[in-house]
A and B are shown apart, each in its own frame.
Chain A
Amino acid sequence: MHFVLAHLRKDLQIEWRAKDSINGMLFFSLLVVVVLAMAFDPGSYPTLTRQISGGLLWVGLLFAAMTALNQSWSRELRNNVLDAHRLAPAPASALFVGKAVANFLFVTAVELVLAPIFVIFYNLHPLGETWKLLIILPLGTWALVVNGTFFAALGLRTRNRETLLPLVLLPISMPALLAMIQATTDVLTGEFEPTLWIKVLVAYVVVFTIACLFLFETILNSD
Protein backbone atom coordinates (compact mmCIF):
# COMPACT_ATOMS: atom_id res chain seq x y z
CA MET A 1 0.00 0.00 0.00
CA HIS A 2 2.73 2.48 0.87
CA PHE A 3 4.29 1.67 -2.54
CA VAL A 4 1.09 2.86 -4.19
CA LEU A 5 1.16 6.05 -2.13
CA ALA A 6 4.80 6.65 -3.02
CA HIS A 7 4.06 6.30 -6.73
CA LEU A 8 0.99 8.49 -6.40
CA ARG A 9 2.89 11.19 -4.53
CA LYS A 10 5.64 11.18 -7.14
CA ASP A 11 3.14 11.57 -10.01
CA LEU A 12 1.22 14.31 -8.25
CA GLN A 13 4.43 16.13 -7.46
CA ILE A 14 5.64 16.02 -11.06
CA GLU A 15 2.27 17.25 -12.27
CA TRP A 16 2.16 19.97 -9.60
CA ARG A 17 5.52 21.30 -10.76
CA ALA A 18 4.98 21.10 -14.50
CA LYS A 19 1.15 21.21 -14.77
CA ASP A 20 1.46 20.26 -18.44
CA SER A 21 -1.12 17.49 -18.70
CA ILE A 22 -3.81 19.19 -16.60
CA ASN A 23 -3.51 22.50 -18.45
CA GLY A 24 -3.57 20.69 -21.77
CA MET A 25 -6.67 18.70 -20.83
CA LEU A 26 -8.52 21.73 -19.47
CA PHE A 27 -7.95 23.88 -22.49
CA PHE A 28 -8.61 21.02 -24.89
CA SER A 29 -11.96 20.16 -23.31
CA LEU A 30 -12.95 23.82 -23.27
CA LEU A 31 -12.22 23.93 -27.00
CA VAL A 32 -14.35 20.82 -27.52
CA VAL A 33 -17.26 22.52 -25.75
CA VAL A 34 -16.95 25.55 -28.02
CA VAL A 35 -16.59 23.50 -31.21
CA LEU A 36 -19.62 21.37 -30.33
CA ALA A 37 -21.65 24.53 -29.75
CA MET A 38 -21.11 25.23 -33.43
CA ALA A 39 -22.42 21.81 -34.39
CA PHE A 40 -25.82 22.55 -32.87
CA ASP A 41 -27.53 25.49 -31.18
CA PRO A 42 -27.60 24.72 -27.46
CA GLY A 43 -29.56 27.85 -26.52
CA SER A 44 -32.69 27.36 -28.54
CA TYR A 45 -33.32 23.62 -28.07
CA PRO A 46 -33.23 22.91 -24.32
CA THR A 47 -34.73 19.40 -24.65
CA LEU A 48 -32.28 18.34 -27.33
CA THR A 49 -29.45 19.80 -25.28
CA ARG A 50 -30.49 17.74 -22.27
CA GLN A 51 -30.65 14.63 -24.40
CA ILE A 52 -27.19 14.90 -25.92
CA SER A 53 -25.17 16.83 -23.32
CA GLY A 54 -24.31 13.65 -21.42
CA GLY A 55 -22.75 12.17 -24.52
CA LEU A 56 -20.94 15.37 -25.43
CA LEU A 57 -19.51 15.75 -21.93
CA TRP A 58 -18.07 12.24 -22.00
CA VAL A 59 -16.74 12.52 -25.53
CA GLY A 60 -14.93 15.74 -24.60
CA LEU A 61 -13.53 14.14 -21.45
CA LEU A 62 -12.51 11.02 -23.32
CA PHE A 63 -10.48 12.94 -25.88
CA ALA A 64 -8.98 15.15 -23.21
CA ALA A 65 -8.02 12.16 -21.09
CA MET A 66 -6.41 10.51 -24.09
CA THR A 67 -3.89 13.35 -24.43
CA ALA A 68 -2.92 13.06 -20.76
CA LEU A 69 -2.74 9.26 -20.70
CA ASN A 70 -0.12 9.18 -23.41
CA GLN A 71 2.05 11.67 -21.55
CA SER A 72 1.75 9.91 -18.23
CA TRP A 73 3.88 6.97 -19.35
CA SER A 74 6.17 8.66 -21.82
CA ARG A 75 7.54 10.75 -18.97
CA GLU A 76 8.74 7.46 -17.46
CA LEU A 77 10.69 6.65 -20.59
CA ARG A 78 13.03 9.61 -20.24
CA ASN A 79 16.31 8.64 -18.54
CA ASN A 80 15.13 4.99 -18.55
CA VAL A 81 13.04 5.49 -15.42
CA LEU A 82 10.82 2.62 -16.50
CA ASP A 83 13.71 0.16 -16.37
CA ALA A 84 14.49 1.40 -12.88
CA HIS A 85 10.88 0.64 -11.95
CA ARG A 86 11.28 -2.86 -13.31
CA LEU A 87 14.37 -3.41 -11.18
CA ALA A 88 12.74 -2.03 -8.04
CA PRO A 89 11.57 -4.60 -5.48
CA ALA A 90 8.12 -2.93 -5.33
CA PRO A 91 5.28 -4.92 -6.97
CA ALA A 92 4.47 -3.88 -10.54
CA SER A 93 0.79 -3.52 -9.72
CA ALA A 94 1.65 -0.76 -7.21
CA LEU A 95 3.23 1.23 -10.03
CA PHE A 96 0.08 0.72 -12.09
CA VAL A 97 -2.36 1.63 -9.33
CA GLY A 98 -0.35 4.72 -8.39
CA LYS A 99 -0.32 5.90 -11.98
CA ALA A 100 -4.01 5.11 -12.52
CA VAL A 101 -5.07 6.95 -9.35
CA ALA A 102 -2.97 9.96 -10.35
CA ASN A 103 -4.61 10.03 -13.78
CA PHE A 104 -8.00 9.60 -12.13
CA LEU A 105 -7.38 12.66 -9.97
CA PHE A 106 -6.28 14.73 -12.98
CA VAL A 107 -9.33 13.83 -15.04
CA THR A 108 -11.62 14.41 -12.05
CA ALA A 109 -10.12 17.88 -11.63
CA VAL A 110 -10.91 18.58 -15.28
CA GLU A 111 -14.47 17.31 -14.76
CA LEU A 112 -14.98 19.63 -11.81
CA VAL A 113 -14.23 22.55 -14.11
CA LEU A 114 -15.92 21.20 -17.21
CA ALA A 115 -19.30 20.27 -15.68
CA PRO A 116 -20.16 23.83 -14.56
CA ILE A 117 -18.95 25.14 -17.93
CA PHE A 118 -21.42 22.82 -19.63
CA VAL A 119 -24.24 24.05 -17.41
CA ILE A 120 -23.39 27.69 -18.12
CA PHE A 121 -22.57 27.54 -21.82
CA TYR A 122 -25.37 25.17 -22.81
CA ASN A 123 -28.05 26.58 -20.47
CA LEU A 124 -28.51 23.13 -19.05
CA HIS A 125 -31.36 22.46 -16.60
CA PRO A 126 -31.09 18.87 -15.40
CA LEU A 127 -34.48 17.32 -14.69
CA GLY A 128 -33.39 14.19 -12.81
CA GLU A 129 -31.67 13.72 -9.48
CA THR A 130 -28.34 15.47 -9.95
CA TRP A 131 -26.67 13.92 -6.91
CA LYS A 132 -26.52 10.64 -8.82
CA LEU A 133 -23.93 12.25 -11.08
CA LEU A 134 -21.64 12.13 -8.05
CA ILE A 135 -21.72 8.33 -8.41
CA ILE A 136 -21.68 8.19 -12.20
CA LEU A 137 -18.85 10.63 -12.86
CA PRO A 138 -16.19 8.97 -10.66
CA LEU A 139 -17.20 5.48 -11.83
CA GLY A 140 -17.07 6.47 -15.49
CA THR A 141 -13.79 8.29 -15.03
CA TRP A 142 -12.21 5.29 -13.35
CA ALA A 143 -13.52 3.01 -16.12
CA LEU A 144 -11.81 5.19 -18.74
CA VAL A 145 -8.65 5.82 -16.78
CA VAL A 146 -7.94 2.29 -15.58
CA ASN A 147 -8.02 0.83 -19.09
CA GLY A 148 -6.45 3.95 -20.56
CA THR A 149 -3.47 3.77 -18.21
CA PHE A 150 -3.10 0.09 -18.98
CA PHE A 151 -3.22 0.47 -22.74
CA ALA A 152 -0.93 3.48 -22.71
CA ALA A 153 1.62 1.25 -20.97
CA LEU A 154 0.89 -1.52 -23.46
CA GLY A 155 1.56 0.71 -26.44
CA LEU A 156 4.57 2.38 -24.87
CA ARG A 157 7.23 0.77 -27.05
CA THR A 158 5.23 0.63 -30.27
CA ARG A 159 5.68 2.86 -33.25
CA ASN A 160 3.34 5.90 -33.30
CA ARG A 161 1.93 5.21 -29.84
CA GLU A 162 -0.09 8.46 -29.81
CA THR A 163 -2.38 7.18 -32.54
CA LEU A 164 -2.45 3.65 -31.20
CA LEU A 165 -4.00 4.45 -27.81
CA PRO A 166 -7.41 5.60 -29.07
CA LEU A 167 -7.54 2.78 -31.62
CA VAL A 168 -7.15 0.18 -28.90
CA LEU A 169 -8.88 1.93 -26.02
CA LEU A 170 -12.10 2.98 -27.76
CA PRO A 171 -13.38 -0.45 -28.84
CA ILE A 172 -12.64 -1.95 -25.42
CA SER A 173 -14.30 0.99 -23.62
CA MET A 174 -17.45 0.90 -25.72
CA PRO A 175 -19.69 -0.80 -23.08
CA ALA A 176 -18.42 1.59 -20.40
CA LEU A 177 -18.98 4.59 -22.67
CA LEU A 178 -22.48 3.38 -23.47
CA ALA A 179 -23.26 2.93 -19.77
CA MET A 180 -21.87 6.28 -18.63
CA ILE A 181 -23.51 8.22 -21.44
CA GLN A 182 -26.88 6.53 -20.90
CA ALA A 183 -26.69 7.04 -17.13
CA THR A 184 -25.77 10.72 -17.48
CA THR A 185 -28.51 11.27 -20.05
CA ASP A 186 -31.03 9.57 -17.76
CA VAL A 187 -30.11 11.96 -14.96
CA LEU A 188 -30.19 15.05 -17.19
CA THR A 189 -33.52 14.26 -18.83
CA GLY A 190 -35.06 12.68 -15.73
CA GLU A 191 -36.96 10.20 -17.92
CA PHE A 192 -35.41 6.97 -16.65
CA GLU A 193 -33.70 5.69 -13.55
CA PRO A 194 -29.95 5.32 -14.21
CA THR A 195 -29.71 2.34 -11.80
CA LEU A 196 -29.20 -0.31 -14.49
CA TRP A 197 -26.39 1.64 -16.14
CA ILE A 198 -24.68 2.31 -12.83
CA LYS A 199 -24.70 -1.45 -12.25
CA VAL A 200 -23.18 -2.05 -15.70
CA LEU A 201 -20.48 0.51 -14.91
CA VAL A 202 -19.72 -1.12 -11.57
CA ALA A 203 -19.42 -4.53 -13.21
CA TYR A 204 -17.18 -3.16 -15.96
CA VAL A 205 -14.97 -1.33 -13.48
CA VAL A 206 -14.57 -4.36 -11.20
CA VAL A 207 -13.84 -6.80 -14.03
CA PHE A 208 -11.34 -4.63 -15.85
CA THR A 209 -9.57 -3.37 -12.74
CA ILE A 210 -8.88 -6.98 -11.80
CA ALA A 211 -7.76 -7.85 -15.35
CA CYS A 212 -5.41 -4.84 -15.43
CA LEU A 213 -3.87 -5.72 -12.08
CA PHE A 214 -3.27 -9.31 -13.14
CA LEU A 215 -1.79 -8.55 -16.54
CA PHE A 216 0.19 -5.40 -15.82
CA GLU A 217 3.34 -7.23 -14.80
CA THR A 218 3.27 -9.15 -18.10
CA ILE A 219 3.04 -5.88 -19.98
CA LEU A 220 5.81 -4.21 -18.02
CA ASN A 221 8.22 -7.07 -18.71
CA SER A 222 7.05 -7.70 -22.25
CA ASP A 223 10.39 -7.61 -24.05
Chain B
Amino acid sequence: MPKWALAYLALTLVALAIGFEKAMTAPTEATMGNLYRVFFYHLPHAIISFVFPYLNCVASFAYLYWRNRDADRAAAADAFALASAEMTVLYASIGLATGSLWGRAAWGIWWAWDARMTTYLLLWLLYVSYLILRGVSATGQTGVISAVLAIFAAIDVPICFMSIRWWRTQHPAPVFGDGGSVDPVFFPALLWNMAAWAMWGAFLLGMRYAVERRRQRQAAAYAVGFLGSDTAEGLEGAR
Protein backbone atom coordinates (compact mmCIF):
# COMPACT_ATOMS: atom_id res chain seq x y z
CA MET B 1 0.00 0.00 0.00
CA PRO B 2 1.42 3.45 -0.86
CA LYS B 3 2.19 5.84 2.00
CA TRP B 4 -0.60 8.27 1.20
CA ALA B 5 -3.10 5.42 1.38
CA LEU B 6 -1.83 4.46 4.84
CA ALA B 7 -2.06 8.10 5.95
CA TYR B 8 -5.61 8.26 4.56
CA LEU B 9 -6.51 5.05 6.40
CA ALA B 10 -5.15 6.50 9.65
CA LEU B 11 -7.18 9.67 9.11
CA THR B 12 -10.30 7.59 8.40
CA LEU B 13 -9.83 5.56 11.58
CA VAL B 14 -9.48 8.76 13.60
CA ALA B 15 -12.66 10.13 12.04
CA LEU B 16 -14.46 6.85 12.82
CA ALA B 17 -13.27 7.01 16.42
CA ILE B 18 -14.45 10.61 16.80
CA GLY B 19 -17.76 9.66 15.18
CA PHE B 20 -18.16 6.78 17.64
CA GLU B 21 -17.34 9.03 20.59
CA LYS B 22 -19.85 11.69 19.45
CA ALA B 23 -22.52 9.08 18.80
CA MET B 24 -22.13 7.54 22.24
CA THR B 25 -22.01 10.82 24.15
CA ALA B 26 -24.83 12.59 22.32
CA PRO B 27 -27.74 13.39 24.63
CA THR B 28 -30.17 10.52 25.09
CA GLU B 29 -33.24 10.88 22.93
CA ALA B 30 -36.47 11.67 24.76
CA THR B 31 -38.77 8.85 23.63
CA MET B 32 -36.45 6.11 22.38
CA GLY B 33 -33.68 6.20 24.95
CA ASN B 34 -30.29 4.85 24.00
CA LEU B 35 -31.66 2.66 21.23
CA TYR B 36 -31.86 5.63 18.89
CA ARG B 37 -28.05 5.72 18.62
CA VAL B 38 -28.15 3.16 15.83
CA PHE B 39 -29.54 6.05 13.80
CA PHE B 40 -26.05 7.59 13.65
CA TYR B 41 -24.94 4.52 11.74
CA HIS B 42 -28.12 3.92 9.79
CA LEU B 43 -28.37 7.35 8.15
CA PRO B 44 -24.78 7.62 6.86
CA HIS B 45 -24.83 4.10 5.43
CA ALA B 46 -28.20 4.60 3.81
CA ILE B 47 -27.24 7.92 2.22
CA ILE B 48 -23.81 6.78 1.05
CA SER B 49 -25.24 3.59 -0.45
CA PHE B 50 -27.09 5.82 -2.93
CA VAL B 51 -23.81 7.29 -4.19
CA PHE B 52 -22.13 4.04 -5.26
CA PRO B 53 -24.77 3.06 -7.85
CA TYR B 54 -24.04 6.30 -9.75
CA LEU B 55 -20.34 5.46 -9.78
CA ASN B 56 -21.23 1.99 -10.98
CA CYS B 57 -23.37 3.35 -13.82
CA VAL B 58 -20.71 5.84 -14.94
CA ALA B 59 -18.01 3.14 -14.86
CA SER B 60 -20.23 0.80 -16.89
CA PHE B 61 -20.76 3.41 -19.59
CA ALA B 62 -17.03 4.09 -19.60
CA TYR B 63 -16.36 0.39 -19.98
CA LEU B 64 -18.68 0.05 -22.99
CA TYR B 65 -17.09 3.14 -24.55
CA TRP B 66 -13.50 1.98 -24.08
CA ARG B 67 -14.12 -1.70 -24.77
CA ASN B 68 -13.01 -1.63 -28.38
CA ARG B 69 -10.80 1.44 -28.07
CA ASP B 70 -8.50 1.06 -25.08
CA ALA B 71 -8.39 -2.36 -23.42
CA ASP B 72 -6.52 -1.27 -20.31
CA ARG B 73 -8.83 1.64 -19.53
CA ALA B 74 -11.81 -0.64 -20.15
CA ALA B 75 -10.42 -3.15 -17.64
CA ALA B 76 -9.94 -0.35 -15.11
CA ALA B 77 -13.52 0.83 -15.62
CA ASP B 78 -14.74 -2.74 -15.19
CA ALA B 79 -12.80 -3.13 -11.96
CA PHE B 80 -14.26 0.14 -10.70
CA ALA B 81 -17.79 -0.96 -11.65
CA LEU B 82 -17.31 -4.21 -9.73
CA ALA B 83 -15.90 -2.41 -6.69
CA SER B 84 -18.72 0.14 -6.58
CA ALA B 85 -21.40 -2.54 -6.99
CA GLU B 86 -19.95 -4.51 -4.08
CA MET B 87 -19.83 -1.34 -2.00
CA THR B 88 -23.48 -0.66 -2.87
CA VAL B 89 -24.48 -4.09 -1.63
CA LEU B 90 -22.32 -3.79 1.50
CA TYR B 91 -23.57 -0.35 2.52
CA ALA B 92 -27.18 -1.11 1.58
CA SER B 93 -27.04 -4.34 3.62
CA ILE B 94 -25.78 -2.43 6.64
CA GLY B 95 -28.39 0.26 5.98
CA LEU B 96 -31.16 -2.35 5.82
CA ALA B 97 -29.94 -4.19 8.91
CA THR B 98 -29.52 -1.09 11.08
CA GLY B 99 -32.79 0.29 9.76
CA SER B 100 -34.54 -2.89 10.71
CA LEU B 101 -33.05 -2.80 14.21
CA TRP B 102 -34.08 0.79 14.61
CA GLY B 103 -37.56 0.10 13.27
CA ARG B 104 -37.98 -2.64 15.82
CA ALA B 105 -36.98 -0.23 18.59
CA ALA B 106 -38.92 2.80 17.34
CA TRP B 107 -42.06 1.33 15.77
CA GLY B 108 -42.13 -2.16 17.28
CA ILE B 109 -41.89 -3.90 13.89
CA TRP B 110 -38.87 -5.12 11.94
CA TRP B 111 -40.15 -4.16 8.54
CA ALA B 112 -42.89 -2.06 6.93
CA TRP B 113 -43.70 -2.01 3.21
CA ASP B 114 -43.47 1.73 3.16
CA ALA B 115 -42.36 3.56 0.01
CA ARG B 116 -38.83 4.41 1.00
CA MET B 117 -38.03 0.98 2.42
CA THR B 118 -39.46 -0.88 -0.55
CA THR B 119 -37.41 1.18 -2.99
CA TYR B 120 -34.33 0.63 -0.90
CA LEU B 121 -34.88 -3.11 -0.80
CA LEU B 122 -35.24 -3.13 -4.58
CA LEU B 123 -31.98 -1.23 -4.95
CA TRP B 124 -30.31 -3.91 -2.85
CA LEU B 125 -31.92 -6.70 -4.91
CA LEU B 126 -30.81 -5.12 -8.20
CA TYR B 127 -27.18 -4.95 -7.20
CA VAL B 128 -27.17 -8.40 -5.65
CA SER B 129 -28.44 -9.73 -8.98
CA TYR B 130 -25.64 -7.78 -10.67
CA LEU B 131 -23.05 -9.50 -8.50
CA ILE B 132 -24.64 -12.92 -9.12
CA LEU B 133 -24.50 -12.29 -12.85
CA ARG B 134 -20.82 -11.40 -12.59
CA GLY B 135 -20.24 -14.59 -10.64
CA VAL B 136 -21.70 -16.98 -13.20
CA SER B 137 -20.80 -15.33 -16.49
CA ALA B 138 -18.11 -16.70 -18.79
CA THR B 139 -14.74 -15.02 -18.32
CA GLY B 140 -14.50 -13.25 -21.66
CA GLN B 141 -17.84 -11.52 -21.50
CA THR B 142 -18.33 -10.66 -17.81
CA GLY B 143 -17.54 -7.01 -18.46
CA VAL B 144 -20.00 -6.49 -21.29
CA ILE B 145 -23.03 -8.23 -19.90
CA SER B 146 -22.59 -6.82 -16.41
CA ALA B 147 -22.15 -3.31 -17.82
CA VAL B 148 -25.38 -3.72 -19.76
CA LEU B 149 -27.18 -4.96 -16.66
CA ALA B 150 -25.80 -2.02 -14.67
CA ILE B 151 -27.26 0.40 -17.22
CA PHE B 152 -30.62 -1.37 -17.03
CA ALA B 153 -30.50 -1.17 -13.24
CA ALA B 154 -29.71 2.53 -13.38
CA ILE B 155 -32.70 3.10 -15.69
CA ASP B 156 -34.87 1.00 -13.41
CA VAL B 157 -34.19 2.81 -10.15
CA PRO B 158 -36.03 6.10 -10.95
CA ILE B 159 -39.02 4.25 -12.45
CA CYS B 160 -39.12 2.10 -9.35
CA PHE B 161 -38.90 5.10 -7.09
CA MET B 162 -41.79 6.92 -8.75
CA SER B 163 -44.09 3.92 -9.12
CA ILE B 164 -43.64 2.83 -5.53
CA ARG B 165 -44.34 6.36 -4.34
CA TRP B 166 -47.62 6.34 -6.30
CA TRP B 167 -48.42 2.90 -5.00
CA ARG B 168 -48.11 4.07 -1.42
CA THR B 169 -49.97 7.32 -1.92
CA GLN B 170 -52.87 5.48 -3.48
CA HIS B 171 -53.07 3.10 -0.54
CA PRO B 172 -51.89 5.22 2.39
CA ALA B 173 -49.66 3.41 4.86
CA PRO B 174 -49.04 4.54 8.43
CA VAL B 175 -46.49 7.33 8.41
CA PHE B 176 -43.72 6.95 10.95
CA GLY B 177 -42.10 10.15 12.17
CA ASP B 178 -41.09 12.92 9.78
CA GLY B 179 -37.66 12.38 8.34
CA GLY B 180 -36.73 16.06 8.14
CA SER B 181 -36.81 16.93 11.82
CA VAL B 182 -33.50 16.16 13.48
CA ASP B 183 -32.71 18.21 16.55
CA PRO B 184 -29.58 20.36 16.00
CA VAL B 185 -28.14 18.88 19.18
CA PHE B 186 -27.49 15.65 17.22
CA PHE B 187 -25.76 17.37 14.31
CA PRO B 188 -22.13 16.89 15.47
CA ALA B 189 -22.54 13.14 15.93
CA LEU B 190 -24.44 12.83 12.66
CA LEU B 191 -22.01 14.86 10.57
CA TRP B 192 -18.91 13.21 12.02
CA ASN B 193 -20.33 9.78 11.30
CA MET B 194 -21.41 10.88 7.84
CA ALA B 195 -17.86 12.03 7.03
CA ALA B 196 -16.17 9.07 8.68
CA TRP B 197 -18.28 6.43 6.93
CA ALA B 198 -17.95 8.23 3.61
CA MET B 199 -14.15 8.18 4.04
CA TRP B 200 -14.26 4.53 5.03
CA GLY B 201 -16.43 3.73 2.00
CA ALA B 202 -14.02 5.52 -0.32
CA PHE B 203 -11.12 3.64 1.26
CA LEU B 204 -12.77 0.24 0.81
CA LEU B 205 -13.74 1.17 -2.74
CA GLY B 206 -10.14 2.05 -3.56
CA MET B 207 -8.83 -1.13 -1.93
CA ARG B 208 -11.31 -3.32 -3.76
CA TYR B 209 -10.45 -1.58 -7.02
CA ALA B 210 -6.72 -2.14 -6.45
CA VAL B 211 -7.27 -5.81 -5.61
CA GLU B 212 -9.38 -6.33 -8.72
CA ARG B 213 -6.78 -4.58 -10.89
CA ARG B 214 -4.10 -6.87 -9.50
CA ARG B 215 -6.28 -9.91 -10.19
CA GLN B 216 -6.77 -8.73 -13.77
CA ARG B 217 -3.02 -8.30 -14.26
CA GLN B 218 -2.36 -11.75 -12.81
CA ALA B 219 -5.00 -13.31 -15.03
CA ALA B 220 -3.44 -11.58 -18.03
CA ALA B 221 -0.02 -12.82 -16.97
CA TYR B 222 -1.31 -16.38 -16.64
CA ALA B 223 -2.81 -16.10 -20.10
CA VAL B 224 0.56 -14.98 -21.43
CA GLY B 225 2.14 -17.93 -19.61
CA PHE B 226 -0.20 -20.29 -21.40
CA LEU B 227 0.94 -18.83 -24.67
CA GLY B 228 4.51 -19.91 -24.08
CA SER B 229 6.52 -17.39 -22.05
CA ASP B 230 7.68 -18.15 -18.51
CA THR B 231 4.73 -17.91 -16.09
CA ALA B 232 6.73 -16.91 -13.03
CA GLU B 233 8.41 -14.16 -15.01
CA GLY B 234 5.08 -13.00 -16.37
CA LEU B 235 3.67 -12.87 -12.85
CA GLU B 236 6.65 -10.88 -11.67
CA GLY B 237 6.11 -8.44 -14.49
CA ALA B 238 2.46 -8.12 -13.53
CA ARG B 239 3.36 -6.83 -10.09
Q: Are A158 and B133 in contact (CB under 8 A)?
A: yes
A155 — which chain B residues lie within 8 A by C-beta? 133, 137, 145
Q: How far is the CB of A163 from chain B (nearest CB, A)?
A: 8
A147–B152 Cα gap in the complex (Å)? 10
Q: How far is the CB of B148 from chain A (nearest CB, A)?
A: 5
A49–B137 Cα gap in the complex (Å)? 41
Residue A174, interface by CB 8 Å: yes
Beta-carbon nearest neighbor of B152 in chain A:
A172
Residue B175, interface by CB 8 Å: no
Q: Are A207 and B133 in contact (CB under 8 A)?
A: no
State the majority secondary structure of interface residues on B. helix
State the majority secondary structure of interface residues on A. helix
A207-B155, A218-B64 in contact; A154/B132 too (CB < 8 A)?
Answer: no
Residue B125, interface by CB 8 Å: yes
Q: Residues 115-143 of chain B: 1 if any A CB is under 8 Å from the residue's CB, otherwise 0?
A: 00000001001100100110011101100
Residue A46, interface by CB 8 Å: no
Q: Are B170 and A192 in contact (CB under 8 A)?
A: yes
Residue B43, interface by CB 8 Å: no
Q: Interface size class for chain B?
A: 20 to 34
B162 — which chain A residues lie within 8 A by C-beta? 200
A179–B160 Cα gap in the complex (Å)? 10
A172-B156, A196-B170 in contact; A219/B132 too (CB < 8 A)?
Answer: no
A155-B133, A164-B133, A211-B152 in contact; A178/B170 too (CB < 8 A)?
Answer: no
Q: How far is the CB of B101 from chain A (nearest CB, A)?
A: 24
Residue A43, interface by CB 8 Å: no
Which of A154, A170, A204, A219 lies in contact with B159, CB distance below 8 A?
A204
Q: Are B155 and A219 in contact (CB under 8 A)?
A: no
Task: List residues 148-203 of chain A with CB under 8 A from any CB of chain B.
Answer: 154-155, 157-160, 164, 167-168, 170-172, 174-175, 178-179, 182, 192, 196, 200, 203
A174–B125 Cα gap in the complex (Å)? 10
Q: How far is the CB of A92 from chain B (nearest CB, A)?
A: 13
Beta-carbon nearest neighbor of A215 in chain B:
B148
Residue A208, interface by CB 8 Å: yes
A158 — which chain B residues lie within 8 A by C-beta? 133, 136-138, 145
Q: List 7 A-B contacts (CB under 8 A).
A: A158-B137, A158-B145, A159-B137, A172-B153, A182-B167, A200-B162, A208-B155
Task: In the A-B complex, list the 9 residue pairs whose CB atoms are closest, starting with the nearest.
Answer: A222-B144, A222-B141, A171-B125, A175-B163, A223-B141, A223-B140, A158-B137, A175-B159, A171-B126
